[in-house]
Amino acid sequence: MRMMALFATLLASTPALAVPTEIHVRVLSQGAKFIGTSMGGVELVLRDVHTGETLAGGLVQGSTGDTARIMGGQPRGVPLSTDGSAVWKGMIDLPVPRLIELVARGPLAQPQAMVTVTSQRWVLPGRGVTIGDGWLLELPGLVVDAVEPAAHEQLEKGAKSRRLAVNVSMLCGCPITPGGMWDANGFDVRATVRGPGGGASEMKLAYGGRTGLFVGDLPLGGAGAYVVTVSAFDTKTGATGVDRTSFLVP
């Protein structure tokens, strides 16, 4: 009996051996496809929730995936990903089950559109997160770029109007066109302009004739600084994006 008790004590005091455990992470753009290399990828950090220890990190890279498969309304449990779809694959050593927090930030190529999403789940040693799409996240938002006027552009003295031009895309870079998969008619794109008098006005922008472009003609109220906030809203999903620019009228 003493020998058995001693053996049990020794076994309990022996540290558990770490088991290599594989994790796959994929990130979807809200209402669209996978975010990957074409948009700079998505930065990942995995941490132990209880200890704060950083376990791994990396970058989601690859293609945006198969449009028909992702947007076709697959039955529950059917993976959205195919070979080449953007993914991060990593290995962590787990001696015991751990509650892991995943922090994803992107798309890295569009700083004004970057958002951060956090997710948590238990992971067992040797029983990784690889089935189907693995650990699947969704980043909310749209990419909005104010392309005209250029930042701090100085117009001609006495200018009476200025063309506004905004480029809008999904976070995966997927194209917005009239009648397309991401229909330009379903996007509400607006500019809020604060002029030199301190007041603000709002105008709606219209599709500008090429993929993702929305334009409008802004009447000017005199000399001074103008600050423009442009926003886009997907009326189908609620995805939203914002950018800002400014210009001067002498």
- Token pair, residue 73, equals 């309304």
Residue 203 lies in a domain: yes
Q: What is the largest CA-CA distance in the chain?
A: 99
- The total domain count for the chain is 2
- Final residue in a domain of this structure, among 117, 139, 161: 139
Best CA proximity match to 204, nearest among 238, 233, 175, 245: 233
Best CA proximity match to 32, nearest among 199, 168, 206: 168
Same domain, 226 and 162: yes
Residue 221 lies in a domain: yes
| CATH number where 239 lies | 2.60.40.10
Same domain, 58 and 135: yes
pLDDT value of residue 63: 98
Same domain, 97 and 203: no
Residue 172 lies in a domain: yes
The pTM is what? 0.89
Same domain, 133 and 159: no
Same domain, 119 and 152: no
- Final residue in a domain of this structure, among 119, 139, 159: 139
**Residues in the chain, pLDDT under 70:** 1-16
Express each pLDDT in 190-223 by its tens digit.
999 999 878 889 999 999 999 999 999 999 988 9
| CATH number where 32 lies | 2.60.40
Same domain, 132 and 151: no
Same domain, 43 and 118: yes
pLDDT value of residue 14: 45
Residue 8 lies in a domain: no
- Mapping DSSP onto H, E and C, the string for 64-122 reads CCCHHHHHCCCCCCCCCCCCCECEEEEEEEECCCEEEEEEEEECCCCHHHCEEEEEEEE
- Token pair, residue 236, equals 């189908």
Residue 5 lies in a domain: no
Express each pLDDT in 225-243 by its tens digit.
999 999 999 999 999 999 9
Can you give the residue range of the structural domain that contains 107?
A: 15-139
Alpha-carbon distance of 112 to 26, in angstroms, equals 22
